[in-house]
Amino acid sequence: MRLLVAGGGTGGHFFPALAVSKELLRRGNEVLYVGSFGGIEEREKFPTKKVLLKVSGFIGRGIRGYLESYRFVTSTFKVLKLIEEFKPDAAVVFGGYSSLPVGISSVIRGVPLFVQEQNSVPGRVNRLLSRFSERCFLGFPPASSYLSETAEFTGNPVRRGVLEKRKLKREVLLEEFGLDRDKKVLVVIGGSQGALWINELVLKSIPLISKLPLQVVHITGRSKKEEELKEKYREFNVKALVFPFYRDVGKIYRLADAAVSRAGALAISEMSLFGVPSLLIPFPFAADNHQLKNAEYVEKIGGALCKTQGELTEKIFSEEVERLLFDRILRSKLRENFLKFSRPYATETVVERVCSRRN
């Protein structure tokens, strides 16, 4: 079976597309991936042929609007030609700039279209394309109210490399990272958006959280706070590992006794697989405030704590961290409900639904 896969710009769109593509390839299918220049897909390797489009947001007025419209039209013609040459049996889009020309071209050519939406509030591209799709795969149940009746909650596809880290022995990882067995591990993940605000909050809170028997693994993101955080942790005698980025994130989740994170769909989906008691701090400038909706849904089902930036001070933050690490009843409840939300077979489910189209 030949599949056309599109989606990218950010890791939230790209990595689910990558996970599904790898599973399709593992089952003997052919995959052609379409992304866009300037996105994460331009830097990341892909296991099959990769085509990048010069396309960006289909918005704007004046010269910018004309330029974006021109890029969209030329990209659509390019995809129409790709479809003519590749002759896909189906197309799967994951959101992001490349998904619109691929989705529209698939509809024009009569190629069966599938949509995977990661967030509680779907992006505009997926909302549009869902009207023409055979099925929509959802990362969060609330998204169904925005999309076609064919929507199904499958969970978000997660990379096999992340899933497999659940099998690792935590004691071995503690030794590998040089961490103590008698102290709780707090993981802080800034994410690709808004990492600076979380880093600054933690920086101000270190004098308070240093009073707790904890150690920290802190992923700062692309921020200038890395050295400042290292120095502050040292000043208050907190054992801390500070990284700007850590590729093998499954190991970090396996280490975590608790986590502080933005509320991106992929981060939530990955953490849920490990049942990590988490404090979710939504990025307030996300499109359609989708991070807040993601966090509110998980909090509603009892799977995590949610605090907005406006609600957090250093004192409140340190109190929430203490609860996450040392309140046994709360930890047990959060873990149980987060695991119930998780969908470890999301990738396989999406692939099976798409491949069943062949029959």
Q: Which positions make up the binding site for UDP-N-acetyl-alpha-D-glucosamine?
A: 10-12, 119, 159, 192, 291
Annotate 126-151 with DSSP letters as a single string. Answer: HHHHHTT-SEEEESSGGGGGTS-TTE
The tally of CA atoms less than 13 A away on the side-chain side of residue 327 is 15
Binding-site residues sit at 10-12, 119, 159, 192, 291
Tokens of 21: 């593509």
Can you give the length of the chain in residues?
359
Cα–Cα separations (whole angstroms), residue 304 to 17, 205, 293, 320: 26, 21, 13, 11
Residue 6 contacts residue 93 (beta carbons within 8 Å): yes
Sign (positive or negative) of CA dihedral 58, 60, 65, 68? negative
Burial class (CB in 10 A: 0-12, 13-18, 19+), 178: exposed
Residue whose structure tokens are 């359609």: 288
Q: What is the DSSP letter of 323?
A: H
